[in-house]
Amino acid sequence: MSTTVHILNSMLNKLTQYRDMTFVWAEISYLAKYWDSLKNRPHLRETLKDLIMRGQLEIVTGGWVMTDEAAAHYYAMIDQLIEGHQWMKSTLGVAPTTGWSIDPFGHGSTVPYLLRSSGIKNTYIQRTHYAWKQFLAAREQLEFWWRQQFDSSSAFNNSQDEDILCHLAPFDLYSVKHACGPDTDVCLQFDFRRVAGEFTESKASRVTKDNVHEKAELLVGQYGRMASLFPHNVALALLGDDFRFNHDMEWDQQYRNYKVLFDYINSQEHWNVEIQFGTLNDYFQEVHQRMKKLNGDQYPTLVGDFHPYGDIYAEGRPSYWTGYFSTRPYWKHLSRELEHWLRSAEILYTLARTVIRQQGNIRLRERLDQDYNYLTLARQSLGLFQHHDAITGTSKEIVMHDYGQQLYRGFKEVMGVISHSAQFLLLHEPFTKPSDLLPAHPMTSYLFPDIQRPSYDTLPQKVALNVPKVEGQKVVVFNSMPHYRQEVIRVGIKYPHVRVVDPSGKEVPSQVNPAWNGSVEILSSIFELLFVAELPPLSLITYIVYRKEELLKVSKTTITVFVSDVFAKIPRASLFNFRNPGDEEIVLKNQFLTAVISKTSGLLDSVELTAEKVVKKVAMKVLYYNSEEFHSGAYLFQPNKMYPVFNISERFPIIRVVQGQITSEVTTVYPGVFSVTYRVYHFDGPLAEGIEVDTIFDMSESRRNNVELFLRVESDLNSENAFFTDSSGFQMIKRYTHAHVPTEANFYPVTSAAYIEDSDWRLTMLVSHAHGCSSLHSGWLEVVLDRRLRFDDSRGMAEGVMDNKRTNAHFWFLLEKMRSDPKEDEVPNLSHLANVLSSVLNYPAIILASDGKDERPLRGAMTFIEKAFPCDVHLVNLRTTPEAQNYNHPSNSSLLILHRMGRSCKVKAHVTDPCKNEPIKAQLSKFRHVQLQSIEQTSLTGIHSLRKVQSFNDVRIQPMEIQTYRLNFAH
């Protein structure tokens, strides 16, 4: 932060001194901290505003950070954009007009859509595969309308008003060395920074009357070559680099030398060159003016993305930046967990504060107003981690540790916000104790999340609930989705003989499983209780767990343990039934499917759909890639070409089977390395139509280095060389495996889903966090789980990746039958079933428990919408906005962000499809318990008002689109 302060202090001073000099700034996270530091220097705050108004300083993109575009999920991308834009609007009174994404390692297609939806019409990108730069430069197509693959199906997208113009920088990097033209040796003659004691590549000398002609010709030659790559002949040259302009002397050196050059060049009328300092907005204004004269402002159209990124500047041969898709998966998973908890906190906080404020409860409203600061902190912690050197795992170990600490603090804050909001909504007498009005620390004393996490780098564990003898244990479940939802709730209990009742007093199906300590040892102090919750849309539901007599006849869970190279003792008397494995196959079966598990490897072998009566090979393998030293690092991935792959374990695994009335599961443990649990459910509903897969892996104690752990599924689908991956969880993109490029070049990022298909079948893999993914052979699908690398790959981090942690990765696998009359030209999409299970995977119900000591009456249920939203409308967020003039205080308005998710028509509709009987033009439901004053549609981040909306009946969202509505709640 100290370097940033120096840069910004110098900027205020030097831009005031040099009135024709310009500067661009991208990341609000740093600017906001700097602004706070000027609290006692209001004249500097005014100077900053004046520079923006004069056009000398432009804030580009305006996100909290410059987000990564491969491993980040679109929820977090949107959230950090909103955080930055709302800060800009409330603090500076401005909004960004141009996008700036110069350092992410490859560019996805989702970010331009989000920028366009935020009101940004032009954007600048830098890092793409070198061959793309060559291809587009040769055709003068480095500027293009960047459209989405679904745009052509939307009538209103035929207008350029809905497009975003993208400028792709023609050269390798954004430093002065690469940005002034094609000849880096010449460019180094125009970097005038000279700081005593600092190493520099610069070959520059001061510009004088004696050498200005020669230097001006050189510079114009470079700029001219760059401008010739564009039809309008306008060149944009960047002057800067990482951590530059942090000394006053550099501002003077760069300005004074370039000023002499510019004045001389502009005086040479026969050169036909006009040159000046300018912002990104200045450049695009000039481009549009020229292109209107040339061809009516027409540009080529591009659909797709720029993954993977490949460079050639370091070694003279291609290096592929596909390693960071999977680097440091623990942090990637942690980020997605915080995303889930933050989203739930946002929705519940908005509802709770509005209900309490409209009830006139001043004390509780003031209490929740304090919680807004904690919500903001969590937003900013999540937003900061979306940075292109954070969620990518490409920062030094000590920096990653700091990121983990900030994410962990965000966790603690949102858990407190959720607990308070739920308690104040559900308690009949919301505050009867002084502790109810305490700040978030300590957390509210009555309701608390049922998980505990002592530090950021440990996996969460279930809190063991006591289950009092008389009153029972209250368990509150929050469904943050606007749809009816069936979910299996899992809680830890100390007493195993229990029953569960819903708010009406009806007992719900339940199952008690053992808790395991390692491979085969069963704990006697804690058990896992599962029960099926039928959850209304957007609701809080209170269940009660009661003790029951041990003598009552119950359905016991059955346990079978297969131990190939260890000896396990089976207890003689137990709560559970134990079986000898015998010679039977290991099978997980319900009414929809049968999954066969290999007795040798303990891994999935085949799947049969009951309705189709066809057995399909779906064989899972867990393997290592053997990586090239100094070539596989935090950024790059490069397997050893001689010995690329080897098996995970030289031992046979331990396999245990748990069978109950709600779920049956097979857990396979390779001690010290990897474990996987396959799970099927035994009731009607979408959960029963796929295979849930949970993995845990720990490479921290591995004896092997320079290895990459991955999961491969080998099927008999004839997918040829095509597969599909998601783009930031927002849409699916078709990929191709190319035999003429190396293995690492065929990997793509996946953040939510991937699938392969042929004319008859589709195999879908849903994931809980970002991975590198590929299909290297017809019928195959694989994801990298973790990487352990001793050496740096010479791309900037200067150390290996050796801080592995015990990590979990969750998956769902779906085998689906294709329709006999598929739409061949449809945009790639998941099936509705896959969308439903992906939401269960990423946004499970929030579970809160009462402390079990103090009996306080809770409402049985609160449902916040009158009926479910249309089945394909996803509630991205319901986010309270800051006051117009006070960023740190909540307003009475919230942003309702909706995504109408696409769904495939090629896949045969499953049995429990809720969309079957839904009207084509289904409408949004009204809210309950809160009163609305008005609704208006806005830009994505809520900055620009688009139109007034009379009611939710007037909300119409095209397939695939995201829309934002500002809900102004009544006073």
For 691, half-sphere exposure in the C-beta direction (CA atoms, 13 angstrom radius) is 31
Q: What is the 3-state secondary structure (H, E, C) of 417-466?
A: HHHHHHHHHHECCCCCCHHHHCCCCCCCCCEEECEECCCCCCCCEECEEC
**pLDDT for the residue 153:** 45
pLDDT tens digits along 479-503 = 999 999 999 999 999 998 999 999 9
Which residue in 947, 955, 939 sits closest to 86, CA to CA?
939
pLDDT greater than 60 at residue 573: no
pLDDT tens digits along 379-397 = 999 999 999 999 999 999 9
pLDDT greater than 90 at residue 131: yes
**pLDDT for the residue 155:** 34
Q: What is the pLDDT confidence band of residue 668, given thresholds at 50, 70 and 90?
A: very high
Q: Cβ atoms within 10 A of the Cβ of 132, count?
A: 16
Q: Model pTM greater than 0.75?
A: yes
Residue 324 contacts residue 71 (beta carbons within 8 Å): yes
pLDDT tens digits along 769-806 = 999 999 999 999 999 999 999 999 989 899 999 999 99
The backbone torsions φ and ψ at residue 870, rounded to the nearest 5 degrees and listed phi first, read -50, 145
Catalytic pick among 103, 248, 282, 792: 103
**Segment 726-732 mean pLDDT:** 96
What's the CA gap between 352 and 346, in Å, rounded?
A: 10
**pLDDT for the residue 154:** 41
**CB contact set of 557 (below 8 Å; sequence gap of 6+):** 511, 512, 513, 514, 576, 577, 658, 659, 660
Mean of pLDDT over the chain: 90
pLDDT greater than 90 at residue 478: yes
**pLDDT for the residue 580:** 60
pLDDT greater than 60 at residue 108: yes
pLDDT greater than 60 at residue 958: yes
For the ranges 196-205, 326-335, 892-901, the lowest mean pLDDT is seen at 196-205
**Segment 97-114 mean pLDDT:** 96
What's the CA gap between 604 and 602, in Å, rounded?
A: 7
Q: What is the pLDDT confidence band of residue 156, given thresholds at 50, 70 and 90?
A: very low
Amino acid, res. 654: I
pLDDT tens digits along 264-302 = 999 999 999 999 999 999 999 999 999 999 999 999 999
Residue 130 contacts residue 312 (beta carbons within 8 Å): yes
Q: Is 103 considered catalytic here?
A: yes
